[in-house]
Amino acid sequence: MASAFDADIQNVLTHHDKPDAAKVMTAHEVYENAGTFAQAAIAPLDQILDNQTGAFPHRLWKQLGEQGYKGLIIPETYGGMGLGYLALTAATLQISKASGSVGLSFIADQALCTHQIIKHGTDEQKAKYLPALASGDKVGALAMSEPEAGSDVMSMRTRAEPAERNGVKGYVINGTKTWITNGGRNDETTGAPLTADVLVLYAVTNTAPKKLTAFLVDGGTEGFNAVRKIEKECLPGSETWELEFNDVFVPEDAILGTVNKGANVLMAGLNAERLILGAGALGLAIAAFDDAVDYTTQRRQFGGPIAYNQDVAFDLADIYSEITGALANMFTAAAMADNGIDLTNGMAASVFLEASQIATRAAEQNVYYHGGNGQTIDYRAGLIKRDASLYRVGGGSEHVRMLRIAEQVIPGYREHVIEERNLRALAKELSDKFKGATRLVSGELEVFGKTNPGGEFLLVPVDRKP
């Protein structure tokens, strides 16, 4: 289905496309072809996946590989198309527009796993994983979140201890990861849970100070299990799993990057992740807008289409303007990345923040225009609204994105946050040691209502609480 944004998007992509005879395809062509493919192969699945009457069709990954979309950013040397972020954002828009569930799974495979291997993998790791990821024979995932570690990454508890097995040096991993998109699936024949094909996993490898290391874990490795599929209200067709690691041995050559430098690998990938997640959100924003225009021009009340009421027409115009601005920012950031310009944390966060906010607004207004029909499963409006809500919290909440922007634009803010965080950590340490005698309030230690802003810590035993 043609979109109100197609002409503008194609013009912007044509503007940013760099003429290169060696390119297999331009971003403009990717957008056009992906739209045709997504509407034919993906859109019909959306409400089936939403109503959970069928499992995510694993064969779709192979189709995405055959069409080239799984290999857009993978170098041609490893079986990909060797394009870049402009092409990937264009394809992600179309896939997410057709199905939010498929869009999120595609993003997890591309931005959270494939991208990290391209940027940080050794030649041997790239040769091992990238061809199969490009073809669709393998699906990638990221394992970072834990039951007690979401935005606070450094609070993760999964450990990787040095070990040796059968003369091979490596690490033994123990822990639990949750909210892992593409982390598992059920075998289509037996129904048995299967793990992700390839996983980028973060684990603690040093405790004082705390350090993380990134590992590549193969599906089917002994002790690596998909234990529970998490049923979600939004994007139910995108499989989300809880994973367990029980004495999982990985060799040293499974390390992605450098030992104890996993935080660097993680942070280096966040800006690309936010950029592609922004494309996912904007795909849903466009889907909501197009659906709203279609419905309001067909729905007649008081003698004419409700879209002809000025408040509806002007509201649609305002939403169109916001989506167009968000698209321009996203494509500019993608073109910058393709040209080797490092995106600042603030810019990447603002692209994602703007995209999630307009996706939420467009989706909510679409449901509102549908009236009672928007509350039924007979229309896609409610599905888009639920799916868009994920982008407010997934990939780092909107407040985390605002924090990254504030750190960049407000002098001294980052240092203040770090100091506050360190004080809180110290207060917790003292509190644990002295049985709850201290706690932190607004940057100062407070002891049962008595503050001590002078820098000296006043410790009062619990039984002497005033």
Residue with tokens 């289905």: 1
Residue ranges of the domains in the chain? 6-139, 141-260, 264-409, 425-464
Range with lowest mean pLDDT among 12-16, 172-176, 189-193, 196-200: 189-193
What does the pLDDT look like over 87-127, one tens digit per residue? Answer: 999 999 999 999 999 999 999 999 999 999 999 999 999 99
Whole-angstrom distance, CA of residue 327 vs CA of residue 31: 13
Most confident range (mean pLDDT) of 40-49, 280-289, 420-429 is 280-289
Whole-angstrom distance, CA of residue 107 vs CA of residue 217: 19
Work out the angle at residue 146's Cα, subtended by the Cα atoms of residues 140 and 152, and round it to the nearest 5 degrees.
Answer: 105
Q: Tell me, letter by letter, the H, E, C secondary structure of the chain.
A: CCCCCHHHHHHHHHHHCCCCCCCCCCHHHHHHHHHHHHHHHHHHHHHHHHCCCCCCCCHHHHHHHHCCHHHCCCCHHHCCCCCCHHHHHHHHHHHHHHCHHHHHHHHHHHHHHHHHHHHHCCHHHHHHHHHHHHHCCCCEEEECCECCECCCHHHCCCEEEEEEECCEEEEEEEEEEEEEECCEEECCCCCCEEECCEEEEEEEEEECCEEEEEEEEECCCCCEEEEEECCCCCCCCCCEEEEEEEEEEEEHHHEECCCCCHHHHHHHHHHHHHHHHHHHHHHHHHHHHHHHHHHHHHCEECCEEHHHCHHHHHHHHHHHHHHHHHHHHHHHHHHHHHCCCCCCHHHHHHHHHHHHHHHHHHHHHHHHHHHHHHHCCCCCHHHHHHHHHHHHHCCCCHHHHHHHHHHHHCCCHHHHHHHHHHHHHHHHHHHHHCCCCCEEECCEEEECCEECCCCCCCCCCHHHCC
User: Pseudo-torsion of CA 168, 170, 175, 178, nearest 10°?
Assistant: -110
Share of the chain above pLDDT 90, in %: 58
Chain centroid to Cα 155, Å, comes to 20
Q: Are 6-139 and 264-409 in the same CATH fold?
A: no
pLDDT at 190 over 90: no
Chain-wide mean pLDDT for the chain? 87
Q: Is 76 part of the annotated catalytic residue set?
A: no
Strand partners, 218: 198
pLDDT at 354 over 90: yes
- The pLDDT, as a whole number, for residue 17 is 79
Tell me which CATH homologous superfamily contains domain 264-409.
Butyryl-CoA Dehydrogenase, subunit A, domain 3 (1.20.140.10)
- The pLDDT, as a whole number, for residue 377 is 84
pLDDT at 323 over 60: yes
- The pLDDT, as a whole number, for residue 463 is 43
- Residue of higher predicted confidence among 293 and 56: 293
Residue type present at position 78? Y
Instruction: Answer yes or no: CATH 1.10.540.10 is held by domain 6-139.
Output: yes
- The pLDDT, as a whole number, for residue 436 is 52
What does the pLDDT look like over 204-247, one tens digit per residue? Answer: 998 878 899 999 999 999 999 999 998 888 888 888 999 999 99
- The pLDDT, as a whole number, for residue 443 is 44
User: Of 146, 239, 273, 407, which residue is the catalytic one?
Assistant: 273
Whole-angstrom distance, CA of residue 214 vs CA of residue 108: 16
Q: Could you tell me the CA-to-CA distances from 10 to 7, 14, 32, 46, 331 in Å, in that order?
A: 5, 6, 8, 25, 11
- The pLDDT, as a whole number, for residue 86 is 95
Residue type present at position 222? E
- The pLDDT, as a whole number, for residue 449 is 39
200: left (phi over 0), alpha (psi -120 to 50) or beta: beta
Right CATH for 141-260 from 3.30.450.90, 2.40.110.10, 2.90.10.10, 3.40.50.150: 2.40.110.10
- The pLDDT, as a whole number, for residue 419 is 73
- The pLDDT, as a whole number, for residue 441 is 43
Q: What is the mean pLDDT of residues 310-333?
A: 95
pLDDT at 362 over 90: yes
pTM of the predicted protein model? 0.88
- The pLDDT, as a whole number, for residue 1 is 67
